[in-house]
Amino acid sequence: MKATDYNKYPEWMKKPFNQTVIYTFHDIKKDPDNPGKYIIPNIYRFKCIDQIVVTDEDGTNARPIHIAYTNGSNPDGSIVIGDDLYFSADNFGRIVLNPKKASDHAKFMFMEYSNQNGSNPNRDESTPIIWTKQDLVVKAKTSRTDRKKRKEALLEAVQLSPYMVGVLIDVLGSISDKQKSEEEQRDLIEDIAENSPTTFLAAVKSSLTEIISTTKKAKDLGIIKNDFKKQAFISQPDDEVIWSTKGIDKKKTYELFAKFLQENPKVLKTIESKVLLEEELV
């Protein structure tokens, strides 16, 4: 085939290329031997020739065309495939295209419409995915949202009363965290607010938070027991079933038990009274 036989895109498919575009190598793996690092090929060359199906702007007249990233043609008119389009570890498995570089425009058209682009909605799905396109607008919005949420969580954390710090330690901390000083507990809660703001804010704002805290205290004090054999929360020492845990999502055990208690205030009041009594005796 001649160079002139390639890249016969319909006019309507010639996308505007006026801002930086980033394509990321699809098969980047976490390095099991080096936490926080990734396995990226030193050099990964992919096919810079492809065949795609195009249509007229109204979706009719489907037809195949050959596309390629080319650096021109040979004297006999045959195509010269570009050799400067590839993924590398040096670039962290990314190809960054700049609209100010003339050569990047040809790269952009090929990488956008190739079947190897996992972000191409019209790709031939029988072709393995080699790269995907980063949505920089969405990424920027997400980054701004994350920053706002983290700021909100940290502001909330520094204003917590000592009582609420204890409640959140019951909900978000471990058994050993309960033995720490208030200052250490506050540091832990602020770390959670910074690193997991969504989880922290949900715990602070949830009407179930204090009930979950109470149930965990009741369990620690031996007032109730989460009996795995009976698949139920039972009262102590009479072993009466309070609420069955059979068939529930184990990750949400305390949240669902708290909802049950919220809907059954007499049972909740009994547990709260016993907790207060036991805490006075300790």
- In this prediction, residue 6 carries a pLDDT of 95
- In this prediction, residue 201 carries a pLDDT of 86
Question: What is the rounded distance in angstroms from the CA atom of residue 243 to the CA atom of residue 120?
Answer: 51
- In this prediction, residue 142 carries a pLDDT of 53
Counting as low any pLDDT under 70, the low residues of the chain are 135-145, 207, 282
- Mean pLDDT, the chain, integer: 88
Question: What is the rounded distance in angstroms from the CA atom of residue 67 to the CA atom of residue 115?
Answer: 10
Q: Identify whether the C-beta of residue 131 lies closer than 8 Å to the C-beta of residue 111.
A: yes
- In this prediction, residue 207 carries a pLDDT of 62
- In this prediction, residue 281 carries a pLDDT of 73
- In this prediction, residue 174 carries a pLDDT of 84
- Kindly report whether the peptide bond that precedes residue 16 is cis, defined as omega within 30 degrees of 0: no
Q: Where are the alpha helices (DSSP H) in the chain?
A: 102-113, 136-158, 162-172, 182-195, 197-205, 209-220, 253-263, 265-281
- In this prediction, residue 4 carries a pLDDT of 92
- In this prediction, residue 208 carries a pLDDT of 75
Question: What is the rounded distance in angstroms from the CA atom of residue 166 to the CA atom of residue 36?
Answer: 33
Question: What is the rounded distance in angstroms from the CA atom of residue 58 to the CA atom of residue 11?
Answer: 13
- Outline where DSSP puts E strands in 119-206: 131-133
Tokens of 163: 């009582």
Write down the residue that tokens 């016969």 correspond to: 8
- In this prediction, residue 197 carries a pLDDT of 87
Q: Identify whether the C-beta of residue 99 lies closer than 8 Å to the C-beta of residue 20.
A: yes
Residue 132 CB burial class (10 angstroms; 0-12, 13-18, ≥19): middle
Q: Identify whether the C-beta of residue 199 lies closer than 8 Å to the C-beta of residue 191.
A: no
- In this prediction, residue 141 carries a pLDDT of 56
Q: How many residues does the chain have?
A: 282
- Residue pLDDT, tens place only, 28-56: 988 888 777 889 999 999 999 999 999 99
Query: 3-class SS at 218?
Result: helix
- In this prediction, residue 144 carries a pLDDT of 66
- In this prediction, residue 168 carries a pLDDT of 86
- In this prediction, residue 130 carries a pLDDT of 97
Instruction: List Cα–Cα distances, 76 to 79, 177, 181, in angstroms.
Output: 9, 77, 81
Q: Identify whether the C-beta of residue 68 lies closer than 8 Å to the C-beta of residue 110.
A: yes
b/e burial code for range 217-232 (CB count within 10 A of at least 16 → b): bbeebebbbbeeeeeb
Phi/psi of residue 275, nearest 5 degrees: -65, -45
